[in-house]
Structure 1
Amino acid sequence: MRKPVRLSFIRPMEPELVEQPPKGDEWSHEVKFDGYRTQLIKDDDGIRLFTKSGIDWTAKYKPIAEEAEGLKADSFIIEGEMIVTNEAGLSDFHALRSAITRRPQDLYLVAFDLLHLKGHDLRDMALKDRREVLQALIPAGGHIQFSEALPGTGDAVYHLACEANLEGMVSKRLDSVYRSGTTMQWRKIKCFDEKVMEIIGVQRERGKPAMVLMADKGRYMGGAFVTFKADKRQRLWDQVQGKVGAPPPKGLKKEKAEWLQPGLSGRVRFLKGEEQLRHAMLKDFWEEK
């Protein structure tokens, strides 16, 4: 008599954030989808879907759970990203929360790894082989989709991803085994964006890098590093000096900052797909006439 199969949530393997895509043929490159990391488990207890931290969200992802019943295997653990797409067909993180509660039938699970299948633990297999088995398991045309590898070198894929307005890419060593936790065997490379925002404050503490504090249409966005050469930096401080003395904006009293009167703007480079500025740098600044 067959022993019942009971599978448990596995803590995810996570890519390290790096600046540049890796070089060489031993890497595979995928789109970095902007959604919620999800683990899909099927065993003799049925289908379950877990968040990145292991919380059971099967009830929230009901249409995906129902579709997963149709996958032709009696037990598996699939890793993927739960997403919803916008009109342009791109994953839209900001629309995801409301889609989960209001229109779960619009959700997609983009599957990128297979950790367990039909009683076999696959984590010691090479990524390339795990993904081959996964691709064969997932039929085309459904809301559970296979995350295709993108053809080309890391640099070329990164350029195309950013041109297409994607959040970035994930590069994985083809021979990598699956180990929970963050690893350099997998790397994520995010795309950057640039935008004009208001400079509402500055932070200048001895021994720390100088930062300007930015707002976009009145909403506080966070800080951007000032990396100008000495003469341009001095020009910025001269303009700042004439505007110091504004009261702290609501909710920002704790920030150790000099707050500025309105009228100074700057162009900021920052990581795409983030609620607040991350890895941000001030590229230029000017006084609004």
Structure 2
Amino acid sequence: MDWERHKKDWPHAGTSRFILSKPHKWHVQEVGAGPMLLLLHGAGGATQSFRHLIPLLSKAYRVVAVDLPGQGFTRLGAQARCGLEYMAEDIAKLCMSQGWQPQAIIGHSAGAAVAFDLAPRLPAPTPRIIGINAALSHFKGVAGLMFPLMAKALAVMPGVAAIFTASNSNPRSIQRLIDGTGSTLPPEDLRYYGALVSDRDHVNATLQMMAQWDLRPLLKRLPQSGLKGLLIAGAADRAVPAETSRNLSEKIAGLEYAELLGLGHLAHEEAPEEVAALILGYLAKNAPD
């Protein structure tokens, strides 16, 4: 996305800066002081996803939000490095280049999966992980077989990003996309998603992420990982069912679970105060070992 075009009205633009940490040029927003929290958005989002949460968390913490490779305003430096493990590896390099040592990594949706893969790559003490509607399960049945194949096919087809941006960038399409997640956002928040899906580079990077996505190695490691954290789920989430986080917390020692009634996949945008209260309450009781 063109920063010069959007910086006048992008949320928290005054806190933005750009960092070259190969292979990508990262867009980062940083605000606050104290122990550090690293925020990672979900597939197809950007730092604007945390626009309401950042002011609440930065009262007590140094908050750093990062756009994933090729998404938002981060410039993609290697198209083949949009998969889960590559993104975690590249963000770990970014953290080490900046001397960042987060107390916790907060990830939304696919960003939570990146957080779980990233945390063990960072120096001790290992950060706590807070997942908001964490995308930590496979599609079931035929969808589980077909989705990866379709994503890979779409990612390599020329012009797909342009077709997607043309067909989904009008306000009604954006409204349908968000409604499909089980969340309800006001028009002033929806317009940021309109800007994202109208950008070919952002859409292309999101397609590449979907095509290269593979949860199997991470899910195999998680039960013995020793990672600790909190999984927050919206009971009305239509994208990632709440049972995904609930089941994972029951299987993995060290993971707590909290459910928010009436909220969808974008729970942290619908009810930032509720989500912030859960995060701050958990962190107050659970500092890294």
**TM-score of the pair, normalised by structure 2:** 0.26
Whose helix proportion is higher, 1 or 2? 2
Who wins on radius of gyration, i.e. which is larger? 1
What TM-score do the two structures reach when normalised by structure 1? Answer: 0.26
